[in-house]
Structure 1
Amino acid sequence: MNAESSVSQTPRWFTEFAGQASESGFTLLGVCPVVDANGFHSLVDWIEAGYAAGMDYFANRIDAYRSPTGVMVGAKSIAVLASPYPAAEREACQTGSGRVARYAWSGTDYHDVIHKRIKALKKLVQSSAPEVSLRGCVDTAPLLERELAELAGLGWRGKNTLLLHREQGSYFFLACVLFDQVLPYDTPQEKSYCGSCTACLDACPTDAFVQEGTLNAGRCISYLTIEHRGSIDPDLRSAIGDWVFGCDVCQEVCPWNRKPSRQFQASEDSFPTRSVDLIEILEMDEETFRQRYRKSPFWRTRLQGMQRNAAIVLGNQRNQTAVSALERHLHSEDHVVAEACAWAIAQMNPM
């Protein structure tokens, strides 16, 4: 917890909770009260402007975002936790390989990892204080996690919309645990330390930022290569470059992430999906893809999305050795993959 917390009023069971959270890999923990979301109307405006693109789950659950009590009735306090992921320097991408966003380098779905930790924390609280009710969430519940993290004193939202911490940058996941108890609250983060810097906005390959703090998801490489279903706008394909899954550009250029002392490192053994073989992806069938990636972040994109992305990257790389693999999909019943492969082949010998 932050130094500003009123430790003297902290119940013993929560002190144990905080201690185990730290031991299990959460590097930041702050507590905020349950209040109506200040950012609710901004979220509505963002959706109405069309910036949510195909992420209909925001609009479908919009009323639940008004207050955390929409997630847990009777909630009074929220512990916001941060869990870092590898931030090692990105290596040059070899022709035939596609870049993967850092959060997916482990090859394991972070939801499964963090939910397991939260389940252990919940068990600890229930054994120490059975009268306490709690619920843990990892970015799938209708919560404005970054707003809650600011209220809990964990950092500020950068111009790229991500939460930034002065020591840990932005390479971390956020999780929330809601309690039906009043706890000592941390001092909210009210100051931004971005200053006049616009590195993240300037570096975005697809100009996805409408303005500071506003992202048009329909132009974001992370959205396009992970969440988006169907064909990708041809006008955006060249800007995707080597990114086959996600994008880290706006984080890589951020000064708060670029100092080695603020980066969480990990061994190479922790990076089984730091990059992927694009031709191998194209040659996979559904069963092979399922066996290899069912428990990985790639599963969200599914085989169709990964093959579409692989074709686009191969086209951007002008990789002639991939032509035969691309041609095998030209008459596929999957028109999304077939069209992407046809586009890629056309890039090999542009007019």
Structure 2
Amino acid sequence: MPQEQAISAPDKKRASLTAFIKKEAEAQGFDLCRITTPDAIPEAPERLSAYIEAGYHGTMDWMPETRERRGDPRVLWPDVRSIVMFGMNYGPDLDPRYLQSRPEKGAVSVYARNRDYHDVMKGRLKEIATRFAARAGADVKVFVDTAPVMEKPLAAAAGLGWQGKHTNLVSRDFGSWLYLGSLFTTADLLLDEPEVDHCGSCRACLDACPTHAFPAPYKIDARRCISYLTIEHKGSIDPDLRAAFGNRIYGCDDCLSACPWNKFASEAREMKLQARADLLEPDLSFLLSLDDPTFRTFFSGSPVKRIGRNRFVRNCLIAAGNSGSGDLVPACRTLIGDAAPEVRGMAVWALSRLLPQADFAKMRQAHLPAETEAEVRREWTMAE
């Protein structure tokens, strides 16, 4: 009989540490855990540069500022030898697009309906990192969308899924509904195979976008993306895009929801984060009434809190203007006198769509002369 090949001590250690961290990931409620190397995404710097040069990043100035570190994990941390990628399913019980038929409600992106996943995942990753570092005698760093790390290409390289035509990660088991986190380490670990692209000729995600934010498959122009515009973008929203927002007040799930691979996402884990009941179908009338203290209290522990009350109410006013509901007129009328120009401006736009023309003209005559902000005056005059 042929002699069995001896397994070296370093190989045994790699195998042991790999099994250890994957077991820890499962214990912490992660649905996927795969491993890759820091040099696994050599095409990333060129693709990132092309994205930025095209202006697709909008006003996200941190992207060009961190271009080098974002494009190459070894620039971020030269000592890293292995990158462990984690995925947690957050698939909803229902297709969130059903809310589009409830215009008096606000549609909050599925990922933001529960506790801030940054905090939840980072806490769990730190527990894994502490135990792994003690076992491996290696240095570790954990990241959850809070550092210049290209999680989606790294997750694809590690085999969690592939980047779909909507640029988000798609999993064969969980569709487009995965939170991602990473652990960088100086330890050598066994590697997983990357996943191949299974999108084929499907373009459901591209066709589902309300604002046509995809100039081509696998490319997204943030300047037209509702998620970017409602979360990252400050100030006024392009008037040509507002009607397409519908009642989406924080993020947009349409491209994710349309993915056919979501049929597998129902296999939710027991430890999956549960959505807050009051964020499933919140009334726009209530949301429009939020002042800064009540906004902070209501969204305590939620990622929504990070955008601030003014930007959030701006979004709600766009939804109000799209609702066709006269019941929202009193709340919008109150916000004409708000201290924040972005709120006053969107209140003007909402009322221009909800009020009879003659009533709106009287309101403009009463308020325009006293308005000093050019942006708000422009809203009044555009609505003539």
Structure-2-length-normalised TM-score: 0.84
1:211 to 200, 204, 216: 216
1:42 to 26, 38, 47: 47
> Where does residue 3 of structure 1 map in the other structure?
none
Q: Deviation per CA, 1:167-206, whole angstroms, max 9, x where unpaired?
A: 11110111110010221111122x2111111111111100
Alignment of 1:67-106 (within 5 A): 67-89=72-94, 90=96, 91-92=98-99, 94-106=102-114
CA contact (8 A) 1:279 1:310 kept: no
SS of 1:276's partner is: coil
CA contact (8 A) 1:78 1:177 kept: yes
Q: Deviation per CA, 1:126-152, whole angstroms, max 9, x where unpaired?
A: 3323x2101000012111111111111
CA contact (8 A) 2:174 2:265 kept: no
Structure number with greater CO (CA < 8 Å, separation at least 6) is 1
Q: How has the CA–CA distance of structure 1 residues 260 and 286 changed in structure 2, closer, same or farther, with 3 Å as cutoff?
A: closer
1:281 to 287, 297, 318: 287
CA contact (8 A) 2:204 2:255 kept: yes
Q: How has the CA–CA distance of structure 1 residues 245 and 269 changed in structure 2, closer, same or farther, with 3 Å as cutoff?
A: closer
> Where does residue 324 of structure 2 map in the other structure?
318
Q: For residues 258 and 320 of structure 1, what CA distance do their matches in structure 2 show?
A: 38
Q: Which is worse superposed, 74-83 or 287-296?
A: 287-296
Shift of 1:25: 1.2
Q: Deviation per CA, 1:261-295, whole angstroms, max 9, x where unpaired?
A: 55669797654422322222222221111222232
Q: For residues 66 and 348 of structure 1, what CA distance do their matches in structure 2 show?
A: 47
> Where does residue 26 of structure 1 map in the other structure?
30
Q: Deviation per CA, 1:89-130, whole angstroms, max 9, x where unpaired?
A: 134453431011111121x1110000100111112123323x
Q: For residues 274 and 321 of structure 2, what CA distance do their matches in structure 1 show?
A: 29
Q: For residues 304 and 120 of structure 1, what CA distance do their matches in structure 2 show?
A: 36
SS of 2:19's partner is: helix
CA contact (8 A) 1:256 1:262 kept: no
Q: Which is worse superposed, 256-265 or 132-141?
A: 256-265
Q: RMSD between aligned alpha carbons? A: 2.2
Q: Does the alignment pair 1:300 with 2:306? A: yes
Q: For residues 227 and 274 of structure 2, what CA distance do their matches in structure 1 show?
A: 23
Q: Does the alignment pair 1:174 with 2:160? A: no
> What is the one-letter code of the residue matched to 2:45?
F
Q: Deviation per CA, 1:64-87, whole angstroms, max 9, x where unpaired?
A: 123212332300100011011132
Q: For residues 14 and 120 of structure 2, what CA distance do their matches in structure 1 show?
A: 27
Q: How has the CA–CA distance of structure 1 residues 88 and 8 changed in structure 2, closer, same or farther, with 3 Å as cutoff?
A: farther
Q: Percent identity between the aligned chains?
A: 34
> What is the one-letter code of the residue matched to 2:117?
Y
Gaps of 5+ in 1: 1-6
Name the one with the larger helix percent: 2
> Where does residue 243 of structure 1 map in the other structure?
248
Shift of 1:242: 1.3
Q: Deviation per CA, 1:11-52, whole angstroms, max 9, x where unpaired?
A: 434422211211211111111111164211111111111100
> Where does residue 4 of structure 1 map in the other structure?
none
Q: Deviation per CA, 1:232-252, whole angstroms, max 9, x where unpaired?
A: 111101100111111110111
Q: Does the alignment pair 1:120 with 2:107? A: no
Q: For residues 261 and 65 of structure 1, what CA distance do their matches in structure 2 show?
A: 33
Q: How has the CA–CA distance of structure 1 residues 272 and 10 changed in structure 2, closer, same or farther, with 3 Å as cutoff?
A: farther
Q: For residues 68 and 176 of structure 1, what CA distance do their matches in structure 2 show?
A: 11
Q: Does the alignment pair 1:146 with 2:152? A: yes
Q: How has the CA–CA distance of structure 1 residues 350 and 78 changed in structure 2, closer, same or farther, with 3 Å as cutoff?
A: farther
> Where does residue 333 of structure 1 map in the other structure?
339
> What is the one-letter code of the residue matched to 1:169?
G
CA contact (8 A) 1:85 1:264 kept: no
Structure-1-length-normalised TM-score: 0.92
Q: How has the CA–CA distance of structure 1 residues 18 and 350 changed in structure 2, closer, same or farther, with 3 Å as cutoff?
A: farther
> What is the one-letter code of the residue matched to 1:29?
C
Q: For residues 119 and 192 of structure 2, what CA distance do their matches in structure 1 show?
A: 28
Q: How has the CA–CA distance of structure 1 residues 59 and 242 changed in structure 2, closer, same or farther, with 3 Å as cutoff?
A: same
CA contact (8 A) 2:32 2:87 kept: yes
CA contact (8 A) 2:329 2:355 kept: no
CA contact (8 A) 1:30 1:153 kept: yes
Q: For residues 350 and 70 of structure 1, what CA distance do their matches in structure 2 show?
A: 58
CA contact (8 A) 1:87 1:264 kept: no
SS of 2:279's partner is: coil
> Where does residue 7 of structure 2 map in the other structure?
none
